[in-house]
Structure 1
Amino acid sequence: MRSSPRSERDPLEEIQLDSAPVYDGVLLKVRRDRVTLPDGNESVREYICHPGAVVVLAVLPDGRLLFERQFRYPLRRAFLELPAGKIDAGEDLLACAQRELREETGYEAVEWQYLGVMHPCIGYSDERIEIFLARELTHVGDALDEGEFLEIVSFSVDEVMSAVHKGEITDAKTIVALFRGLPALGLSIKQSEEK
């Protein structure tokens, strides 16, 4: 007698019973799902659907890192962050990273390395951000989207790490990209702090 295959289901998994749209915006969509919990009870989950994004850790020829200073309306202030942007429907991840770097900063890169993915707000969104490292940059001129305003600045790794530790850089995708990218540059977080 053959035994039935063991379930691969995570014992913490919540099973969707039904799903309904709450809001359908230009960028974001909100859904409300009814789910069965691991103990068999039911609950409601509301979450934001996001198309995904890329973030680029771009290294200038002198070793400085390329940053943007951009006003972020929900928090009503400007932030220092790495170049990033939304993935268009059906767009290749690398093509998106290349497009965003060019549009926002005016730079193109010869060398690209994929560093991984992060999920910035797992409690209320399905957003994912794909992380890339770009080297051998050449300035070719920016091509900002209409209504997009930002300043391009550069910092040494030490200046960036100091700004993170002082709370001057608080953007999650930027901090994670630095954490993932510094080893690819031959640096560790500890080494950069010691300099």
Structure 2
Amino acid sequence: MNKFEEKTIQSQEIFNGKIIQLRVDDVELPNGKMAKREIVKHPGAVGIIPITQDGKILMVEQFRKPLERSLLEIPAGKLEQGEEPQVTAARELEEETGFRANQMNYLTSFYTAPGFSDEVIHLYIATNLEKVENPLPGDEDEFVDLLEVDLESAATFVDEKRIYDAKTVYAVLYLQMKKVLDQHE
């Protein structure tokens, strides 16, 4: 048993939507006191770092309603029930960019906001891209513009907060770190 573990005494579902579920748990803290925890349940997602033959990153720009603004992001999407993350990554890459990857490598997984959510993102890097003649259609309610961005511009966009979400910032930092390490080999 973890010395910081919080024992769930009671759990109440508040909302059950198509993407998230919200519940409130009454928990007993390690010191014996009681507290409430608001928890967002999420099926998980993937993020894909697609790299073109000339070393550019394929990104999508889309409006994010919770923020009331557009962001520049790596392609990403929610896992469907029972779907393996690599399958989701291939599907989302094609839907959002119109490209298929001949090589898709898993990089890592990370929690997006563990203070209140169990969402985990599985991150992949996609290379040897080829344009798909008739790509899978994107989501009916999703409108995106496709951009090719070099690493230097992506870093500038992070500074300017045009790239402002965790998965895309992580992707840019990963590519910068990889570039530095490759130069020292």
Q: TM-score, normalised by structure 2?
A: 0.92
**Which whole-Å deviations, capped at 9, do the CAs of 1:33-70 have from their partners, x for residues lacking one?**
11110111111111111111000000011110000000
Provide the aligned C-alpha RMSD in A. Answer: 1.6
Unaligned runs of 5+ in 2: none
Report the AA paired with residue 166 of structure 2: A
CA distance in 1, matches of 2:6, 2:77: 31
CA distance in 2, matches of 1:182, 1:161: 8
Aligned to 1:25: 17
2:156 to 152, 162, 166: 162
Report the AA paired with residue 86 of structure 1: K
**Aligned-partner SS, 2:66:** helix
**Which whole-Å deviations, capped at 9, do the CAs of 1:137-190 have from their partners, x for residues lacking one?**
01114421212111000111111112112322111111112333455xx4139x
Preserved contact between residue 151 and residue 175 of structure 2 (Cα < 8 Å):
no
* Aligned: 1:111 with 2:103: yes
**Aligned-partner SS, 1:188:** helix
**Aligned-partner SS, 1:61:** coil
Aligned to 1:51: 43
> Identity percentage over the alignment?
36
Number of residue pairs aligned between Structure 1 and Structure 2: 180
The aligned runs of 1:136-151 (5 Å cut-off) are 136-140=128-132, 141-142=134-135, 143-151=137-145
Aligned to 1:16: 8
- Moved beyond 3 Å, runs of 4+: 180-183
Preserved contact between residue 115 and residue 181 of structure 1 (Cα < 8 Å):
no
Instruction: Report the structure number with the largest CA radius of gyration.
Output: 1
Report the AA paired with residue 93 of structure 2: L
* Aligned: 1:100 with 2:92: yes
CA distance in 1, matches of 2:170, 2:110: 8
Structure 1, 40-49 or 82-91: larger mean CA deviation:
40-49
Structure 1, 92-101 or 19-28: larger mean CA deviation:
19-28
CA distance in 1, matches of 2:79, 2:131: 23
Structure 1, 42-51 or 138-147: larger mean CA deviation:
138-147
CA distance in 2, matches of 1:19, 1:97: 33
**Which whole-Å deviations, capped at 9, do the CAs of 1:79-132 have from their partners, x for residues lacking one?**
100000000010011000000000111000011111111111111111111100
* Aligned: 1:83 with 2:68: no
